[in-house]
Structure 1
Amino acid sequence: MLSLFLSKRFSQSRQKGFASILNKASTIGVLLGVSVLIVALSVINGFEEQLEKRLLSVVSHVTYDAPYEPINDWKSKVNILEQQQGVLAAVPEINVTGMVQFKGKLKAAQIKGVDIHSHEGVSSVGEFIKDVSIKSLAQNEVILGAQIAESLNLSIGHNFTLLIANKNAKSMLSAPKRIKVTLVGLVKMGGPIDQSMALINLESLQTSLSLKPDQVTSLRVKVTDVFEAHNIAMSAGRSLPDLVYVNSWFRTQGSLYQDIQMVRTIVFLVVILIIAVASFNIVSSMVMEVKDKQSDIAILKTMGAKDSTIFSTFAFKGVGNALLGSLVGSALGVVISLYLPELFVWFYGEGTQNPLSGVYFVEFLPSKLIWTDIAITLGVTLLLALLASIYPAWQATKTDPAKVLGNG
């Protein structure tokens, strides 16, 4: 094709002065913009993946909480829930807010009484517990979040006290119930879970709260699709004969998921604007190039070249510059994304300097490449480059051979 041939020849000819600087700057701008966008999107994808694999594998997908009276005959209610569409498993729980007391120090905790035989069917917390298995959790033994234990100087084997509000007391000033327990394991997941979780045998809490063996305060459900948890929760909840509060992870962790999606949108828009600025630098460089190539354009026209040929020649040149930057930027972005977790660990190490340690649900920088993101980035970049090339290419077709060659 003649336009492609001419575009290639023009690209091979050396530009001089400011036009050459602008041409290189626009290509480098596109390169950096594309690589930054690919890396940023891969990090956001990585956080979303880890949210589902780590945090949502531990926190409750759906819970049905008794507002006043405990749920009776929990085994039949579990069977009802497990027959509902979208439900993978259901288990009984007792959830209470209490305090961990050790040597005069207090720390708030979310105390969960769990059925040691079935809890691992709805939670992967066992993967983050050291020294013990949930199935071996005996009466009055507790597994604590690592940061709770660290703040109270608790070690495996230490005896301490759980303080739980006495709901049956007649006075608000009544002393809380005290449960003497032993620390047998630590949850080391990172983030808020380590700061709040306390797991205890279901029977221990039933005894302490004066509940019958078939009574619990909550039913926990694991669903097939975590992002449809709310709809599944409402649908399955209608099958229960009890009055319950319906909660899904969207209420407890939904803000984190929404933040990830918001950051994705903001990053995409901001970096696309940066790429747009770099792409429209093509306008300046190509306008100057059209001016430098006026004599060549005039000669082509006198030889019978059509305006469409001239237009396509410069349009291809503008898109070619952007394509070069896009391809190199994509390759750079992919390489950085693939090795980003290792680079993060190498730079920060695993000590206290790690900015993610103890703050988020991961202590490393996750990265996940999605090839559709790369395709969209390339498509948008080339579209912006094409739009930026239209005016200079159109201006080239307006060259008057008589004026240009006559002045020569």
Structure 2
Amino acid sequence: MFKPLSLFIGLRYTAAKRSNHFISFISLASMLGLMLGVAALIVVLSVMNGFDRELKQRILGMVPHGSISAYGKPIENWPLLVEQLSQHPDVVAAAPFIQAQGMLTSKGVVRGALVNGIDPVIEQHVSILGEHITSGSLEALNQQRFGIVLGDLLARYLGARVGDKVTLVLPEASVSVAGVVPRLKRFTVVGIFSVGAELDANLAYINLEDAAKIKRLGDGVDGIRLKFDDLFVAPKKVKEIAASLSGYYSSSDWTRTHGNLFQAIQLEKRMIGLLLFLIVLVAAFNIVSTLVMVVTDKKADVAILRTLGATPGRIMRIFMIQGTVIGVLGTLLGTLLGVTLALTISDIIAWVERTFNIQFLNADVYFISYLPSDLQWADVGVITFTALVISFLATIYPAWRAAKTHPAEALRYE
């Protein structure tokens, strides 16, 4: 079978068992280093993509993309305003809300919480809350007076289950014959939700009418929550919408509450990607050192080939092929390993946590309590292509040195 001479000799040098075992070891180490660097880069970027996805789908699925509120007073005509905002071309849905910060107490335990008054029917159009109810139901807020839905971690801290009573303590004080006392109201737990994030520890929901009575808003609400198709247009669009309404309205968006977290993830993804890219670069430099030693070891062979008529270009291609084979094998094995781990890393970590009874991500510290992974083939393509290019470029200098070998000098001491 016909083979180009450069390809034949290059592959033979790669597959041959060398007398110099140190060079063989360095070649293997170069390939393994490249493989591990590529695999690590794919896995870590997939995990960072997973965090980014969870932030968008879970955290930003629970908090408002944007909101409209009146300056210093409740919105009385909110049904008309909700209908008007829902017809805006950039708005997917709109829903009223009332917000109160207070403390929830149960069985002697006190926890701070952000309590949202919502309409359970309308809320499901702007939030993923209804999809993550693990016990009870969201609709029960309409069926029972002064019912409350708690986050999973918040319910655990309070030791509360569906059917138990919890007391809401609001910071607004009331003056009575006994003096100044805080405002208290007992609620019945009618549901528990879990989104696997920090929101589980500090968020609770009550019926919109109950919230209005507690805050003494009458028929008014604190604001209107908006959901957009593209959450990245929310900061700009919500300001435009607020400015276009008749009256004095202020606007807010998700970048004010969770924008720093999103930016931090994006920055960490870039920095970690850069650091792991340096690992791939170091592995490529190992290919350079491997080929330099191979060229030194094969000086006599190169001299004989030159004597037999091999051109400098052919000699250069021989060693470039050898280095490229190392780079291609390392990159492809690393890609295969990285893709496999990226697709299974969530299950592997979950198994480790169950087996050894440990928790890597605590929801009290991190915004989710499990390790997500989102393999994006575009990232895999960029990483693989970059590693192959770097591996190819790493072969140029050693191959050029081999092509510069003078037959007479190389054979002088043979």
- TM norm. shorter chain > 0.5: yes
Sequence identity, in percent? 36
Which residue among 141, 152, 157 is the counterpart of 1:151? Answer: 157
Q: Secondary structure at the match of 1:247?
A: strand
Matched, 1:68 2:72: yes
Matched, 1:223 2:228: yes
Matched, 1:183 2:189: yes
Which residue among 19, 22, 30 is the counterpart of 2:23? Answer: 19
Separation in 1 of the partners of 2:411 and 2:201? 80
Separation in 1 of the partners of 2:259 and 2:51? 14
Q: Which runs of 5+ in 2 are unaligned?
A: none
Q: How many residues align?
A: 404
Instruction: Look up the equivalent residue of 2:11 and give its one-letter code.
Output: K
Deviations 1:69-122 (A, max 9, x none): 111201121122222232100011001111213355432111111012211111
Q: Secondary structure at the match of 2:148?
A: strand
Map 1:324-363 → 2, pairs under 5 A: 324-349=329-354, 353-359=358-364, 360-363=366-369
The answer to whether the 8 Å contact 1:348/1:354 transfers is yes
Map 1:25-174 → 2, pairs under 5 A: 25-137=29-141, 138-166=144-172, 174=180
Instruction: Look up the equivalent residue of 1:354 and give its one-letter code.
Output: Q
Deviations 1:295-350 (A, max 9, x none): 22122222222222211221221121111111111111111122212211111118
Separation in 2 of the partners of 1:355 and 1:398? 55
Matched, 1:364 2:367: no
Range 319-328 or range 252-261, more displaced: 252-261
Q: CA deviation at 1:7?
A: 1.1
The answer to whether the 8 Å contact 1:85/1:236 transfers is no
The answer to whether the 8 Å contact 1:165/1:176 transfers is yes
The answer to whether the 8 Å contact 1:80/1:239 transfers is no
The answer to whether the 8 Å contact 1:81/1:239 transfers is no
The answer to whether the 8 Å contact 1:26/1:278 transfers is yes
Q: Secondary structure at the match of 2:264?
A: helix
Alignment match, 1:233? 238
Instruction: Look up the equivalent residue of 1:196 and give its one-letter code.
Output: N
The answer to whether the 8 Å contact 1:148/1:194 transfers is yes
Instruction: Look up the equivalent residue of 1:336 and give its one-letter code.
Output: L
Change (3 A) 1:13 1:153: closer
Q: Secondary structure at the match of 1:349?
A: helix
The answer to whether the 8 Å contact 2:64/2:225 transfers is yes
Instruction: Look up the equivalent residue of 1:9 and give its one-letter code.
Output: R
Which residue among 382, 388, 402 is the counterpart of 1:396? Answer: 402
Separation in 2 of the partners of 1:318 and 1:298? 20
Which residue among 7, 10, 13 is the counterpart of 2:10? Answer: 7
Q: CA deviation at 1:246?
A: 1.9
Separation in 2 of the partners of 1:351 and 1:318? 43
The answer to whether the 8 Å contact 1:85/1:232 transfers is no
Separation in 1 of the partners of 2:241 and 2:254? 15
Range 9-18 or range 42-51, more displaced: 9-18
Separation in 2 of the partners of 1:72 and 1:245? 15
Q: CA deviation at 1:131?
A: 3.2
Instruction: Look up the equivalent residue of 1:310 and give its one-letter code.
Output: I
Range 227-236 or range 29-38, more displaced: 227-236
Alignment match, 1:256? 261
Instruction: Look up the equivalent residue of 2:402 and give its one-letter code.
Output: A
Instruction: Look up the equivalent residue of 1:141 and give its one-letter code.
Output: G
Alignment match, 1:281? 286
Instruction: Look up the equivalent residue of 2:46 and give its one-letter code.
Output: S
Separation in 2 of the partners of 1:366 and 1:358? 14
The answer to whether the 8 Å contact 1:189/1:361 transfers is no
Change (3 A) 1:401 1:112: same
TM-score computed with the length of structure 2 as normaliser: 0.91
Alignment match, 1:323? 328
Deviations 1:237-277 (A, max 9, x none): 22223433322112212222122212211221111111111
The answer to whether the 8 Å contact 1:279/1:385 transfers is yes
Q: CA deviation at 1:123?
A: 0.7
Alignment match, 1:379? 385
